[in-house]
Amino acid sequence: MTTTLRPAGPEERRDDGGRARVYDVCVNSRRAGGIRLSTDPRFGPTAGRIEALRIEAPDRRRGRATVAALAAEEVLRGWGCRQIELTVPAETGAAMRLATALGYTERSRTLAKPLIEPPSLPVGSVARPLSEEEYPAWRDAALALHVRTQIGQGMAPERAGETSAAGHRALLPDGVGTPDQALRVLTHDGVRVGTLWVALRMAEQPGGYVVDVQVAAAHRGRGHGRTLMLVAERESLSAGRTSLGLNVYADNAPARGLYDSLGYGPTAYLLWKPLL
């Protein structure tokens, strides 16, 4: 039997060059499922995504999903994509096994933790709001770090700068005065040791979300990262949020160890592979 993809609707085009289309997964011209492909809104037209893939129950465990995913790579190559991404929910073990078998590797994972009561901070540690005077230097440093991270993930430098700046403008249009955004400075024994940015309301996030957490280089290795996460939990609970989420890159072993020790568990995995 032959498994193929057949367009199930018109192609969608965006002003920035992005595109998307839904396909039927067909076995000898009979529909057996569906798949939606798109270009990635962060990386742009050179990166593709499998947004959704479903095989109907009677056709499962017959290799249909594998062939459909491989056919999707061919479609995205034809679009000019040089890499492909997909997001796998943590509870879908079969999807993770399939992606691993097809050569996908983890780029990052999202984590979350239910919040019950505000934790106490270590003696000598105090969190205060980031001031208007401190904001420009903090913003510039945060943007520079985000740009470097995106370039490290394969994004073109110009696009990394543009998307990072646009993201900051969207989330912090009024700087430190933006509603539902908590910008905090952590001091220990009166010395500034780190900063925190928590979005208390964010699209597609059920609770608070840690956007950025930084410990000054001279103060790392002393538990201040853990304290900043405790501050994030306190801020989220104060805003009526009963969970806290974040994203961590696969190669950041120290951060992953910290979040694991604090009780954060994976909710989804962002996987990718180059299209050769």
Please determine, for residue 214, whether its predicted confidence score (pLDDT) is greater than 90: yes
Q: What is the pLDDT of residue 1?
A: 60
* Helix segments in 85-134, DSSP class H: 93-101
Q: What is the pLDDT of residue 243?
A: 97
Residues paired with residue 269 on neighbouring β-strands, in sequence order: 88, 109
Mean pLDDT, the chain, rounded, equals 94
Please determine, for residue 217, whether its predicted confidence score (pLDDT) is greater than 80: yes
* Residue 88 · residue 100 · CB < 8 Å: no
Q: Where are the domains of the chain?
A: 3-81, 117-241
Please determine, for residue 204, whether its predicted confidence score (pLDDT) is greater than 90: no
Query: To which CATH superfamily is domain 117-241 assigned?
Result: Gcn5-related N-acetyltransferase (GNAT) (3.40.630.30)
In the chain, the amino acid numbered 34 is G
In the chain, the amino acid numbered 86 is L
User: Is-same-fold flag (3-81; 117-241)?
Assistant: yes
- CATH architecture for segment(s) 3-81: 3-Layer(aba) Sandwich (3.40)
Q: What is the pLDDT of residue 152?
A: 87
Q: In terms of residues, how long is the chain?
A: 276
Q: What is the mean pLDDT of residues 106-126?
A: 97
* Residue 23 · residue 38 · CB < 8 Å: no
Distance (Å, whole) CA 144 – CA 165: 10
81 — pLDDT class (breaks 50, 70, 90): very high
Alpha-carbon dihedral 210, 216, 217, 223, rounded to 10 degrees: -70
Q: What percent of the chain has pLDDT over 70?
A: 100
55 — pLDDT class (breaks 50, 70, 90): very high
Q: What is the mean pLDDT of residues 103-125?
A: 97
Task: Report the first-to-last Cα separation within the chain, whole angstroms.
Answer: 27
Q: At what angle do helices 253-261 and 224-238 cross, to 10 degrees?
A: 50
178 — pLDDT class (breaks 50, 70, 90): very high
For 26, phi and psi rounded to 5 degrees? -115, 140
pTM: predicted TM-score of the whole model, two decimal places: 0.91
Q: What is the pLDDT of residues 17-32, one digit of tens each?
A: 899 999 999 999 899 9
Sign of the Cα torsion 101, 105, 110, 111 reads positive
Please determine, for residue 156, whether its predicted confidence score (pLDDT) is greater than 90: no
Distances (CA, A) of 147 to 134, 144, 152, 162, 186: 20, 5, 9, 9, 24
Q: What is the mean pLDDT of residues 170-174?
A: 95
